[in-house]
Structure 1
Amino acid sequence: MEFVEWKESYNVGVKEIDIQHRGLFDLVNKLTKTNDYDPEGRYFLLTFIEFIDYARLHFNTEERYMQEASYSRFEEHKQAHIDFLAIMKSYLEKLEKKQRNMENEILDYIKKWYSSHILGFDRDYIEVFRAKGFK
């Protein structure tokens, strides 16, 4: 499976969020690499748990900035995060029950969601955050 490539154009202009976005991309690549070289899926599972934990941390950070900025689409954005984590939890439960051959499906979902979320939904708050002076 192909790695995802970080591009500077993905930055939103808030250092903490940009670092976390980059960290998420790095974890997706770690998942991809683990999937390619871990036929039994043990390391994939551990890395997937790490990814979910980091995504949760990132979502909390992003939501804190949104609340501080009185971002008008906060509830909608927060719900997207909740929905994503629910899907990740469902995948995790299946992996923990040793359901195999889910790794590619998980990676496809994550890659599509993150590219649309970071390149779409997250772009919406950039101007609001700039107006608040967040850097």
Structure 2
Amino acid sequence: MGQRLSQIEWSDRDKLGFTDLDIEHRGLVEIINRVIRAINEDDQVQYRLHANNFAQALILHFANEETFLHEIRYSHLDKHRAHHQSLLEGALAFNRLSHSMEDLDTLGGYLEEIKTALLEDIRGGDHYFLKFLETEGADKTVKARLLG
């Protein structure tokens, strides 16, 4: 592989303050970092394994997050769901490619796109629904339970 891929560094700014979602987000970052390390090391077995694990973890996480967004009555749920679908399609396509392609530069390019989309979701889109909840979403009972 020509250029080594950089891993994602998790920080406190990535946290939303909802333990379950924060744990899942951190887990997604850890899995994609495993894919990155495996590609950097040209370890086909590992990058194929972790590409599959990442896609499966995304499916579970998006289902959990969308249930949460429904519960807080997030007004932009359909738009957020469409973003999730796009990211998931990219992850599933990458998973398929990782099993059929051995050109690490091309795989690395696709992985960079997925990494960027994941970071946009965690650091961008997901923080919008936090702001929504703080200002207008859900009723007082739900807010008290979710925000502590």
Q: Please state whether the residue corresponding to 1:70 is helix, strand or coil.
A: coil
Higher relative contact order at CA 8 Å, sep ≥6: structure 1 or structure 2?
Answer: 1
Residue from 1, 25, 30 that aligns with 2:29: 25
Structure 2 residue identity aligned to 1:36: N
Checking the alignment, whether the CA contact within 8 Å between 1:31 and 1:44 is kept in structure 2 is yes
Residue from 30, 38, 42 that aligns with 1:34: 38
Gaps of 5+ in 2: none
How do 1:1-12 and structure 2 match up within 5 A?
1-12=5-16
Gaps of 5+ in 1: none
How do 1:1-135 and structure 2 match up within 5 A?
1-39=5-43, 41-101=44-104, 102-130=106-134, 132-133=143-144, 134-135=146-147
Cα deviation code 1:12-46 (max 9, x no counterpart): 1110000111111111111111112234x221011
Structure 1 window deviating more from structure 2 (110-119 vs 96-105): it is 96-105
Mapped partners of 2:92, 2:111: distance in 1 = 14
- Matched positions, count: 134
Mapped partners of 1:26, 1:92: distance in 2 = 16
Structure 1 window deviating more from structure 2 (86-95 vs 66-75): it is 86-95
Mapped partners of 2:119, 2:60: distance in 1 = 18
For the aligned residues, what is the CA RMSD?
1.7
Which entry has the higher C-alpha Rg, 1 or 2? 2
Cα deviation code 1:80-103 (max 9, x no counterpart): 111111122222222222353233
TM-score w.r.t. the length of structure 2 is: 0.82
Structure 2 residue identity aligned to 1:53: Q
Cα deviation code 1:23-81 (max 9, x no counterpart): 11111111111112234x22101110001111111111110100111100001101111
Checking the alignment, whether the CA contact within 8 Å between 2:59 and 2:88 is kept in structure 1 is yes
